[in-house]
Structure 1
Amino acid sequence: MIESSVVEGLPAEGALLLRMSGTLDAHGAHAWSQELRGHLEQADRAGLRPVLDMAHVQLGGAAVLRTLSETTRVRTGRPDLIIVRARPGVREAVRLARLEGVRLYATLDEAVRELARAAAKAEELPAWRSPMADPLRPSYEDLHQEVRALRARVRTAPVIGMAQGMLMARYALPETGGAFRVLRETSQRFNVPLRVLASAVVVARPPDGPAWFPGRRPLPVPPLRILGRTDRDPRCRGRMIDAVLREALAIGRAPAGHVLSVDPAVNALALEARYGGTDAYLDHLGRGRDDGTAEAVARARGRRVSMPDVAAAELLSEDGRRALLASGARALQCVPVLSSAGCCAGLITVHWPEAGHRPTSPQAEALGLLAADTAAWLAWYHRTVLLDALEHLHRRLARP
């Protein structure tokens, strides 16, 4: 028997988790193959990576392995089937069968580590094994991006899972797939990132009636001193945050920078936009290591942090310093985005490749105005677009 549920984020980034149970023998091999093939086709149509959980499976013969081999062989060009939590006997049988298009991992964390090691080895390959000589070999950047995507899913999956669980309990939904489908549809309809919508579901007070937020009135877009000069739609979160980053880079005449937000559901930083530089520092932040960074200091103090010489900055941890230097940053400026209550809702960071760079007073003032604009826009966005999305979600699920 195979049960499926969608987990871990957006369709392009998520997974279709297939939970198997029972004994797979030659007698039921054909029926099992047809069922598995149907689930794999479902994953392909939805753009999801298939993950087969075999924790409760016993293999009853070689016929099942042959069937699995035939099922996966026809998936050429599709994402590999990932098998997790297989029992030792099952894992060994699958490994010895040398099945095409199948990857075996004990856990998702093990998959991340294996991809990271593969990415490191890719840099050491001789020239004759370069991507130019072997275009079918995954490039270092491909592997690196997959590692980063897996880490991002590990961070966002708990919030999305919490939101699914809350919706299931609140609206008596029979399975997680229904909750995820409504979350995804609402995310796409209102152009709200799924992780942002899920976080709002988790932190918002539960609805008590036909309307989630009764008596709510539309709010006008606040006057924006810097962001108001752009022609971006304030309802489009991605474009507005891109505009924030571009303005910050232009103000500081900086070649690189990034914008982070604070996820209120887990009180953690999330990357919203980046430009220039290398991935070393963002990877450092992506692993949840934001202590001892400029962002952590600016967030805790509630004011800008200027580091004209990263190599000598006493506020940085050694890991944070090494990551910044590896990313090419020798000087930086980090400005917190503070709500009207003084809480940090995000951070704007720009950095330069030469030490000794310090923004002028007009530049520092303009960055402060940009952060204030960003805070005002975020507050409006949360009170309008995000609440509109929650109202829609509530109406969809509360239907009799």
Structure 2
Amino acid sequence: MLLEILYRLPCCRRAVQFKSVSKRWLSVISNPYFIRRFMDRHRHYVCKFTHVFQNTIELNVNTYIRLVSYDHNDNPSFKFDPRIGLEFLDFLPVLSLHYPVCIQASFNDLLLVCTQVPKASFFEYYICNPFTKHWLKLPPIPTDGTRTRVMIGFLCDPCICDSDSDNDREQGCITNAHYRFMVVRILCPEENTTQFQTQLQVQIFSSETNEWRNSVVSSPRKLNLNPFMPIACYAGVIACNGMLHWVCVKDKEIKGFVVFDPFNDSEQCHYIHPPIDLSLRHYVSLGVFRRRLRIFQLIYAGSFSLWELEDYSNAGTWCMKQKVYFSNMDFGDFLQRAKNIHGLDYSDERTKMMLYRDMTFLAFHPNDGDSVFLHCGNSVQLCNLRTGVLKRVYYYSSPVRSKFQLVQPSWPTPVPPLPLNAPSISN
């Protein structure tokens, strides 16, 4: 009876709070069966999400972070979190030591935070959920952990649940009760960051072994694996479906996309072709929408394009979801506001191109497959690629070097437990 009452609670925040009522309630609410039932009842849940802006991409004692959260309740709107700087991570004890800190990756509502111990000159990593304030510290990194320039991949893979239901087994039932995870540090080639590389040195941490290990990753097709080349570095390393993805570049052109699956093969990468109509010399942004890899490309000559990966087999199958030309877009009051700020007449096409060059991709809208967020000058715009409408959703004028989107699922993503001999802490 208690389970039947509790899984009808309107939101997971209430359920998590009720864990403290008694040991029995804690046991019921923590049970994977309860979590599965709760998620199934809330399967039409509209995700809340938060934009995280950071003024650095490197470890810094002056890291400045702002949060802007979307509230879709009675009056849907974006709201700035009153906490500034690192205040929203004040549950991490390491912050009281005033070490250089930087957010390096995210997954759902989890963050991967890195800090450097100054005198010892080594890095420490923390995985935390800023909504539940649960966290854990990873073991120290082996010798090469002092190399400063790295690309980071953060993988979380939900465990398939044990279920008595035939339908659950057929559908591959997934619960948010348990995850396994990996942190992958791709080390920058020491000789030349833009050099063609058919092998990469990586450091991999696995929650299943509680250990860091060194590995050399190679490409069976002798492709360039180097993610530090400008086009590849701009797109970053993106986690999707338990695999890491980044851009393969040769002679300043996109040749395809590297796929690295450390859960199943830590020494080989795979390759998928680019979409046929992708502009190979223009920068792209990678992201994920409902467990599908996506590419967004802004061509300064006049268009936005969006593709989605439908199949990994046979070197990949892409589908163009949307393409919109600037000449067909409804900019609302965007051009007039830009004119007031810059004093330029944006009715002129050449001047308008200057404005487009100031646009950068922020994130895919987690609840709307046709929309993307763009950061442009002092504002964040929501662009609907199906209707061609650009709408300002909030102002943000502080310097931005890195951006993340935290998406709150219907049940909080747990900070994955490590083996019993691992150092782990939660509030």
Higher helix share: 1
Larger Rg: 1
State the TM bucket, normalised to the shorter chain. Answer: under 0.3
What is the TM-score of this pair, normalised by structure 2? Answer: 0.22
What is the TM-score of this pair, normalised by structure 1? Answer: 0.23
